[in-house]
Chain A
Amino acid sequence: MRPEIIINSLAFDAMITHCRDGLPMEACGYLGGKDGEVSHCFPLTNTDSASDHFTFDPKEQFATVKQARALGIDLLGVFHSHPETPARLSAEDIRLFNDPHMQYWIVSFSKPSPEVGAFMLKKTPDSVDITVVHIVIK
């Protein structure tokens, strides 16, 4: 059975808005919540300021970790946008996504309406196992 993640509509809309505002560049951020349910969106700066790549600002990352801790929530996911390509993990995403505890969300603007995909990755030196996560907005 496909795993499921619940996200509240405020966090979902904030993620879409941050990604749309960043166009034509990629935008990125964290998603936080509790017990597997996303309640907060934390927009971060794409230090690459590029349309085909993103990198988090480590200072913002550490600040967000502490902010989430102060709120009593966990960081559950990383999101970024694909301005021109579908909501699937690219080879570069797979290469650089190394936190085994995160879900990876992609917001695609390759079509008139944004499309969102969420994934879990399990990497070993020999293999990459990708699981598609079903998103429930409430």
Chain B
Amino acid sequence: MNVTINGQIEQIPSGLTIVGLLAHKSVEMPDMVSVELNGEILDRPAFDTTLVSEGDSLEFLYFMGGGQ
């Protein structure tokens, strides 16, 4: 099925959760990634249960913080 990931239309297998999609995309350090699904930021506990659907728009980016 087709979804948009970081602005690019991509074909992915059906039935993936967000965790499954991050693994499918070989995203490094997935525990440090924030995900926006159709314009809404997903809570991390939802990564395991949220299924990706045809036509979804997803954005991945890394949590960013630090300190002196």
Contacts and interface: CB of A to CB of B under 8 A. Distances in A.
Contacts of B63: 55-56, 58, 96, 98
B67 A62 contact: no
Interface residues of A, number: 33
A104 B61 CA distance: 15
A54 B67 contact: yes
Interface stretch (A2-10, A32-40, A78-86, A126-134): A78-86
Given A61-B34, A62-B59, A62-B61, A96 B41 contact: no
Name the 10 nearest CB pairs between A and B, nearest first: A53-B67, A55-B65, A92-B67, A82-B68, A93-B66, A99-B62, A56-B64, A98-B29, A98-B32, A85-B68
Interface of B: 6-7, 28-29, 32, 34, 36, 41, 59, 61-68
